[in-house]
Amino acid sequence: MRMFRIFYPKERAASAYDIPYEALRKKGIRGVIFDIDNTLVPHDAPAQEKTVKLFERLRGLGYATCLLSNNKEERVSAFGRQVSSPYIFKGGKPSVKGYEKAMKLMGTDRESTLFVGDQLFTDVFGANRAGIFSILVAPINPKEEIQIVLKRYPERVVLWFYERDRRKRQ
């Protein structure tokens, strides 16, 4: 459905750990903005070893990174220290301001930035509004706060149309 397209991710991936970052680098992507909770780790969990290694790998590929979360400073700053990445807390997603601030911190622009998140109506919608390439990943943990659980129902409808439209384009 046409009205849902603003919520469509450019791509989908099973996990933030399964994205072909090397291939995206060759296509001109220079910075990656990540949501944290249920994108990189379960809600409120600390960075795992594989998370730290992902950020080290990205730096080794020449990527800049930034965390963009609607969570509080205490949560986001602690996670940012664990993965050695700049961060923005209380990012106001889907407002464009947080995405623009993240690009400024990374020294990237819309064409060279990727956003990775697990929610359509905050993460992907905001990235799309900001003109950033977005990848939607599956939530890590199905146990979520009630306000997120309630958003998952309309997300399923949008994703049904997204998949239908994607199949038509193939």
Q: What is the pLDDT tens value at each position of the chain, 170 positions in all? A: 677 888 989 999 999 999 999 999 999 999 999 999 999 999 899 999 999 999 999 999 999 999 999 999 999 999 999 999 999 999 999 999 999 999 999 999 999 999 999 999 999 999 999 999 999 999 987 666 666 666 767 788 777 888 888 777 77
Residue pointed to by tokens 């600390």: 46
- Rounded Cα distance between 71 and 90, Å, is 5
Structure pTM?
0.90
pLDDT at 170: 74
pLDDT at 161: 84
For the beta carbon of residue 45, count every other beta carbon within 10 angstroms. 15
Beta bridge partners, 88, equal 68
- Rounded Cα distance between 168 and 87, Å, is 38
pLDDT at 160: 83
By three-state DSSP, how is residue 102 classified?
A: helix
By three-state DSSP, how is residue 72 classified?
A: coil
pLDDT at 146: 61
pLDDT at 159: 78
> In sequence order, what are the residues at sequence separation of 6 or more whose Cβ sits closer than 8 angstroms to the Cβ of residue 162?
4, 7, 8, 9
pLDDT at 145: 67
Cis peptide before 94 (omega within 30 of 0): yes
pLDDT at 148: 65
- Rounded Cα distance between 130 and 135, Å, is 14
Q: Are 155 and 120 in contact (CB under 8 A)?
A: yes
- Rounded Cα distance between 110 and 46, Å, is 29
- Rounded Cα distance between 105 and 157, Å, is 35
